[in-house]
Structure 1
Amino acid sequence: MDFSKPIEIAHDVFWVGYVIPNDPFQCHVYLIKNGEESILIDPGSMITFPVVLEKVTSLVDLKNIKYIIMHHQDPDIVGCYSTFEKIMPKAERYIVTHWRTEMLLKHYMWDTPFYLIDQHNWKLKAGKRELEFVFTPYAHFPGAFCTYDKKTGILFSSDLFGGLTEEFSLFAKNVDDYFEAAKPFHKHYMPSQEVLHHALKQVQKKHPLMIAPQHGSIIKKDLINPLIEKLKDLECGLYLLDDYESDLYILNKTDEVLKQFFKDTVSLSSFNLVLRNLFDNIKKVIPSIQKIEICGISPLSEAEHCFSFGEDHKIVEIDKMDENYSFKKELKQNDKKIGDIYIIINKNMNKREKKLLEMLLNKIAVPVAISLEKELILRELEDNNKKLYEKSITDPLTKLYNREYMKEFLNKKIEEAKRYNFPLSVAMIDIDFFKKINDTYGHLIGDCVLKELSELLKNNFRGSDIVSRYGGEEIFIIMPFTDCENACKKLEYFRSLVEEYTFCDKKSVKITISAGVCEFDKENDGIEDLILKVDRKVYFAKKQGRNKVVCEKGG
């Protein structure tokens, strides 16, 4: 495509602009060739004027340009007109615009009279051609409007649908790429999402076949509606983000990270996931970021908790901060310090990235402080609840599970054994002549024996086995996925271990145990049946002389 010549984008409709070298802010000029009532749309600035004039005169005689549409008053579209007017032959000619634009353009003291669209029913009849005007107030100024050519279905959209493009492309290639170009343009040009949304709705009512914006790229029919739907979700007014920063890239990237962060803090219940996403999103715009670390003091217990997320893509709680950080920001809420955020970077950060990171830290400090405080309180409450629950199911002397938890767990495992058909065995242990130990050595030694026996049990049974204090000197053991034969072997081994063991060093107490073992019968046993059966096996062990293991079968 030869951009040094006019490009016909529809029948008798031409792009007559100039590609400004190395400029993402291209300004387009369009011409509708319409006999003696031809129409020039947004004539441009003095930068583009020489090329525009050459292209226009190659298509029409200047005396045949009857209407000059000026969508707004900015110099990039009207700056050349003082010169243009001087070289145009005397003829009937009008500047077509909105009264709000005319209030400013009249200060140029041009000779060309105005045709005010709001006073002509938002229409213009140019010979057999009819143009309609779409009022899009505040997008980007109070009198903003678009021009719709009914003959070709082209909507000349002024600043709407504009884009900032790294490389010139007269036509948008696809929705996603052009949206990325249009996004920063609209976010800083349009004052609010409501204004943009209203303007887009007005455009959609015309069902245009092509959109020709003043900036960016021309949009063909198949891209129009998908692009509009994406633009509707944009939150605009980018310059409200900071009082002093004017770098559009920094503002746009800061806004993108903040929007996602705020969305995550509302929608995600996991602080770790919020922190991970924050790291990933900052890493996208500042690749030199290596790690984020956040430390805070719990308002409930004043205990310090630190969280770290970095290039290993794992969040870990750390005991001590590494002081080798690059950026540090206090996290405060209502002037109360909650903690600190540390950003660790490598040496490749440039000045722009540094400014972006500093702005991000300033903007996220308060919401991160709120999230951190919430997380610290939640962790503290969860820890406290866990401790209370563990206390409620634990025997205070032996630190084994208590009888109530044993029954709850056994009920659960009985149901699972029935459903999934796995073996389940239980055992009961009773210390032989325990009363004699208390009478001989006193109750403190009796307690010592119980505690040391409990430690032996915990060290010699699996984590999946539940060992509980059933009552007095009786211990109850639940062994999922264990048949009676293997349970008996395990109990026999433990019995012999206890027999050889010396308890309570100072007193050198020797004890023996009697034990019963039963396997759950899925057809006939309930929880009480199973407990009664294993209790009877302990009774038989004692009757046979104690220091024995009696099993229901196979043992």
Structure 2
Amino acid sequence: MKATHCFYQDGEHKWVAIVRDPARPECLIDTNEYLVVHNGSGLLMDPGGAEVFPAVFSALSAEFDPGALAGLFASHQDPDIISSLALWLEFNPRLPCYVSWLWASFIPHFGGSAETFVAIPDEGMEINLNGLTLQAVPAHYLHSSGNFHLYDAKARVFFSGDVGAALLPPKSDPLFVDNFDAHIRHAEAFHRRWMGSNEAKRAWCERVSRLSIDMLCPQHGAIYQGADVERFINWFDGLRVGIAAG
């Protein structure tokens, strides 16, 4: 069963993290899903793979009426991101899915129709969630060639997809990074191999460093908060990526 944690709330606006599924098969990478709620409507980020759909749906239902979901956001096309799409659409066939235009004809292999997808242009776009403006921020080649992150300026929360991800060892699963230097060792090999462009990485670091961010929330591993957000951006900026080893 996935656990839920409400880590930001201000009146009718809140963010919920859906994390850690110890019951998942060992062959599956663990994933974090995030839900932003505003004035009774919700947007679910990277809802996960088909295998974890029951656990995600159950955990989400403990915090929020899934019938009030206004949409899904897929940072990119990977199966651990969005292969549960057909199951979410079975629950609500009218759910829109926001995704890069690049994948709008690929992700339908997981389910949905042309009407399901809201194609995000390369420069990003604003997403309105019942009066709240969320910003789809370009993160191309980090690691997907069509990739977006999501920023909530009101909550100062940045959903960073695979950027910031750490493959933590068994029984080491803090919700928040509690020792940056120890934690980042579990992120280094992943970022070197999976992030495909040093030029794209530098552009992302410059763009994101201009935002006010209290929490940076990756799809795998622990959440960066406070001073660790800037530490991570600086670390990532100095890392050589797009290499298989070394």
Q: Name the counterpart of 1:56.
A: 60
Q: Deviations over 1:295-352 (max 9, x none)?
A: xxxxxxxxxxxxxxxxxxxxxxxxxxxxxxxxxxxxxxxxxxxxxxxxxxxxxxxxxx
2:201 aligned with 1:200 = no
Percent identity between matched residues is 22
Q: Deviations over 1:477-526 (max 9, x none)?
A: xxxxxxxxxxxxxxxxxxxxxxxxxxxxxxxxxxxxxxxxxxxxxxxxxx
Match of 1:73 among 71, 77, 85: 77
Give 4+ residue runs of structure 1 displaced > 3 Å after superposition: 20-25
Q: Counterpart of 2:98 in 1: which secondary structure?
A: strand
Q: Name the counterpart of 1:135.
A: 138
User: 2: distance between equivalents of 1:121 and 1:232?
Assistant: 22
2:234 aligned with 1:229 = yes
CA deviation after TM superposition for structure 1 residue 37, in Å: 2.6
Match of 1:44 among 48, 65, 68: 48
Return closer, same or farther for 1:34/1:101 CA change in 2, 3 Å cut-off: same
Contact preservation (8 Å) 1:19, 1:26: yes
Pair member with larger Rg: 1
Match of 2:90 among 79, 86, 89: 86
User: 2: distance between equivalents of 1:200 and 1:101?
Assistant: 24
In structure 2, the gaps of 5 or more residues are none
2:183 aligned with 1:178 = yes
Q: Name the counterpart of 1:154.
A: 157
User: 1: distance between equivalents of 2:47 and 2:117?
Assistant: 15
Contact preservation (8 Å) 1:186, 1:236: yes
Contact preservation (8 Å) 1:211, 1:220: yes
Return closer, same or farther for 1:172/1:207 CA change in 2, 3 Å cut-off: same
User: 2: distance between equivalents of 1:109 and 1:39?
Assistant: 18
Q: Name the counterpart of 1:33.
A: 37
Using CA pairs below 8 Å that are at least 6 residues apart, which structure has the higher relative contact order?
Answer: 2
Q: Name the counterpart of 1:169.
A: 174
CA deviation after TM superposition for structure 1 residue 105, in Å: 1.0
CA deviation after TM superposition for structure 1 residue 127, in Å: 1.5
User: 1: distance between equivalents of 2:139 and 2:63?
Assistant: 31
Match of 2:8 among 10, 17, 28: 10
Contact preservation (8 Å) 2:85, 2:110: no
CA deviation after TM superposition for structure 1 residue 4, in Å: 4.8
- Root-mean-square deviation (CA), in Å? 2.2
Q: Deviations over 1:207-243 (max 9, x none)?
A: 211111111211102111122112212111222xxxx
Contact preservation (8 Å) 1:18, 1:52: no
Return closer, same or farther for 1:62/1:23 CA change in 2, 3 Å cut-off: same
CA deviation after TM superposition for structure 1 residue 38, in Å: 0.9
* TM-score after normalising by structure 1: 0.40
Structure in which a larger fraction of residues adopt strand? 2
Return closer, same or farther for 1:47/1:170 CA change in 2, 3 Å cut-off: farther
Q: Counterpart of 1:16 in 2: which secondary structure?
A: strand
Q: Name the counterpart of 1:344.
A: none
User: 2: distance between equivalents of 1:217 and 1:24?
Assistant: 17
* 1:388-427 to 2 correspondences below 5 Å: none
2:219 aligned with 1:214 = yes
User: 1: distance between equivalents of 2:78 and 2:213?
Assistant: 25
User: 2: distance between equivalents of 1:168 and 1:203?
Assistant: 26
* 1:505-520 to 2 correspondences below 5 Å: none
CA deviation after TM superposition for structure 1 residue 6, in Å: 1.4
Q: Name the counterpart of 1:107.
A: 109
Q: Counterpart of 2:50 in 1: which secondary structure?
A: coil
Q: Aligned residue pairs: how many? A: 237
Q: Name the counterpart of 1:455.
A: none
Q: Counterpart of 1:130 in 2: which secondary structure?
A: strand
CA deviation after TM superposition for structure 1 residue 139, in Å: 0.9
CA deviation after TM superposition for structure 1 residue 98, in Å: 1.2
User: 2: distance between equivalents of 1:137 and 1:214?
Assistant: 16
Contact preservation (8 Å) 2:2, 2:22: no
Q: Deviations over 1:45-71 (max 9, x none)?
A: 123211111011222222210110010
Q: Counterpart of 2:207 in 1: which secondary structure?
A: helix
Match of 1:145 among 145, 148, 171: 148
In structure 1, the gaps of 5 or more residues are 240-250, 256-555
Structure in which a larger fraction of residues adopt helix? 1
* 1:313-328 to 2 correspondences below 5 Å: none
Q: Name the counterpart of 1:498.
A: none
